[in-house]
Structure 1
Amino acid sequence: MAEIKVPELAESITEGSIAQWVKKVGDRVEKGEFIVELETDKVNAEIISEEAGVLTQILAGEGDTVLVGQVIAVVEAGEGAAPAPAAPVEAAAPAPQAAPAPVATAPVVEETSGERVIASPAARKLAREKGIDLAAVSPVDPQGRVRVQDVAAHGTAPVAVAAPVAAAPKAVVAVDESRVTVEKMSRRRQTIAKRLLEVKQSTAMLTTFNEVDMTNVMALRSRKKDQFFESTGSKLGFMSFFTKAVVAALKKYPYVNAQIVGDEIHLNNFFDIGVAVSTEEGLVVPVVRDADRKNFSEIEDSIADLAKKARDKKLGLSDLSGGSFTITNGGVFGSLMSTPIMNGTQAAILGMHSIKKRPVEVDGEVAIRPMMYLALSYDHRIIDGKDSVGFLKTVKELLENPEDLLLNS
């Protein structure tokens, strides 16, 4: 017999939630086979079986919170005999209850509508067993992802799902379901909310603004993008210019690249730049390592690779930890101005915004130029106004003279 336990993923991760079971009780599993997906506040992890055999017990259902080291399933040697029912586990601490028995196998069908439906592997399997067209299932998830619960409820009257026994009673708020749609926050969304609130409450956050004339960056990019692609195989975007400008400004104003640890200020002598990426499950901030040592094409490749991994849910803990400064681009969603919230223990974050043509004064005359507002949110406990304004002014000057960035890269 082999116990499947929640693995230790990182020192900062102590618990997670069962996102989905890929296998059900009675299924044959091979050594090293992926059987359950665990959602943590940072990444989703695939848990494998260390032994070959039959999955005889599932001790935590989808959505349950589980701790590192907790036994969540049992695999026994065998070829798939009828599984024994899961027995209650007696322990000093309360253990998650066994998941419901699987639905009996039915004729297998695939989606008949021709439309590819976004669904978890477990949901697809249950739909095949019950002979249900996934395209006909109405998901609860606002993003349209079909889960096991949606398939199980398809074609039946809505039923209440038994909730785990709570440690203490919670206040029940009456909700008019005809007027309000209620959805449970994902673990990642809960963590995002908690950490953003912590930053607001534990720092003296202030935001300063400037604007940058993007004329020269846009003209240089237009002239060089084809040649850049032919010589490097990479697309030349705006993020490499901003990353290079930020690194140069951080070297000039080192306290912007610092953090408070207890009663000490730690000045970082490395330049690991976090780049905020929006995903279906919320904002993540993968890190471009040693951005000061990378050229334009290497930065573009790093950002493209991290963004793809974020969309494909393939980011690892090493991709997300240890950043010293963050850049976030609300402009891709049409934001004209915002006050971004700092990321974790970092001292500052730069917000990019939409490029809009506006009348500005140029050499004593009014001209229409493509302008972008920049916002620097910073911890006033570390960074004084002089440094914050100077940092932002340096970024502005470098972006308005982008040849300097190319020459210094």
Structure 2
Amino acid sequence: MPASSEFQGGGLLNISMKYRKIRGCEDILPPDVEAWQELETKAVEVLTQFGYCQIRTPILEPLELFQRSIGESTDIVEKEIFSFKDKKGRNICLRPEATASIARAYVENNLYQLPGIKKFYYFGPMFRAERPQKGRKRQFHQIGVEAIGSYSPVIDAEIIYLCQRLIQILGISKFRLEINSLGCAKDKKRISNYIRTKIKNNLNKFCPQCQRRFSRNVLRILDCKNLQCITAIRDLKIDIGSQICQDCHQHYLEVKGYLKALGVNFIENNYLVRGLDYYTRTVFEIVSDKLGAQNAIGAGGRYDDLIQEIGGPPQGAVGFALGMERILILRNKLSQIKYQPTVFVAVQDNTLLKAAVVEVMNLRENGISAEMDYQQRSLKSQMRLANEKGVKYVLILGTEEIQKGQYSLKQMDTGIQRRIKREDLIKVLKEEE
């Protein structure tokens, strides 16, 4: 519904709005919100089957957490983060992603002292000061998982399998999985030097943004979506796999072996680097050509150094995040789910409103969704409202019906109306559900 309108008496009334939502942020209204709830419910079923437990972290975090974890020279920290100083002069921000927040919670709460791998899932809003477009908002929502406490390639394969499986269960069938390895921290430095050596004499072939990235964050050049940069990279035959150490190469081989054993189809993309500095070794994206330039449905990878970098012990870790808005775009399910109460309680006379309230609450207490009219309209108007709501039954209360303890129950699709004893009402409705 437009911000400049409101519903009044069943009609649309134009009013002058003083305040509007911030560009890039959306109101999620009924019935659309039910599509979101459906996603979350299905996701929880899958994630708990895989042994993940929900974690909730604050939306507000110290700015330094993301400067250190994501990287000060990344696009997110340089241009996209919402940050401000609080009353005590501390640098605060709205979280742009959840992995660093969960890593901070893991260390701060000494979860590394507990035995075994810690497996978390989360839902929630993230915030980035981006130019709004299809599939990209300033406030957006993610479903994600993090598995902390293992360097094993088995957990990489589980995470990738889970990401793909979750997308399928959420109703997306056409996508492709792309994977790569960035190697360890030493490998990443070697890769960066290798890319600079390959590019330095051809820098004029790259876009202005990539020319700036050359000295600050050269890996991101491989991820540029500009056609001239893509062509230049291909022409230079850059092969970052040649710079990865034997241990990381073996880890990647084992990840691919487990994925093949699980029947997971994947494409190796030697230019896949991801935009966050904390990634090491395995990285992956699941993409759809139906989303345009912002084509990633979900993505993730390893971040084996992050826990130690923010003050914890060395801990292997891997995770992913899915964009909920992008999933809903692909499912095309918004506005297709509608809340439909089972019973509408109507009254012949407004003096019977108290009896109607009692019956509505009684139905709800017994697990039957029920509604009524709150504006004291005529019975004819109440029946019209019940029809608009798509209810299955209308329970009609009149003075005589209440005195006799026998109500009129009308089945809306057939028009059949019958008498039901009050004490039998719940039983009859539940039997016919």
TM norm. shorter chain > 0.5: no
TM-score by length of 2: 0.20
Q: Which has the higher helix share?
A: 2
Higher relative contact order (CA 8 A, sep 6+): 2
Larger radius of gyration: 2
